[in-house]
Amino acid sequence: MRRYLPTLLLLVVLLGFLGLALSFMVTTWRESTAHMSVHGWVALSLGVVFSVIVGCGLMALMFYSSRRGYDERASEPQRRDDN
């Protein structure tokens, strides 16, 4: 049990931060009087969709480059002995 104590403490702290963030979000949402037009909702939706597409594309490129060996360290250049 003592071995897992730091992990459990970290989990409790992070869940506490998540709870605070969610309660702040809900409180702010309920007290807001702002209204968004249809154009705002369309812009928000397109922004979310394109952000997800870009994120997925970058993750795919990361996995592609990792599996193809592009992330490997370059080897030392071969020295030519002219002797």
Q: What is the pLDDT of residue 26?
A: 95
Mind listing the pLDDT tens digit for each residue in 26-48? 999 899 988 999 999 999 999 99
Average pLDDT over residues 12-18: 98
Q: What is the pLDDT of residue 68?
A: 82
State the maximum Cα–Cα separation within the chain, in Å, rounded to a whole number: 83
Q: Categorize the per-residue pLDDT at 1 as very low, low, confident or very high, splitting at 50, 70 and 90.
A: confident
**Helix locations, the chain, DSSP H:** 5-31, 38-68
Which one-letter amino acid corresponds to residue 62?
A: M
pTM of the model: 0.53
Token pair for 74: 């370059």
Q: How far apart are CA 20 and CA 3, in angstroms?
A: 28
Q: How far apart are CA 43 and CA 29, in angstroms?
A: 19
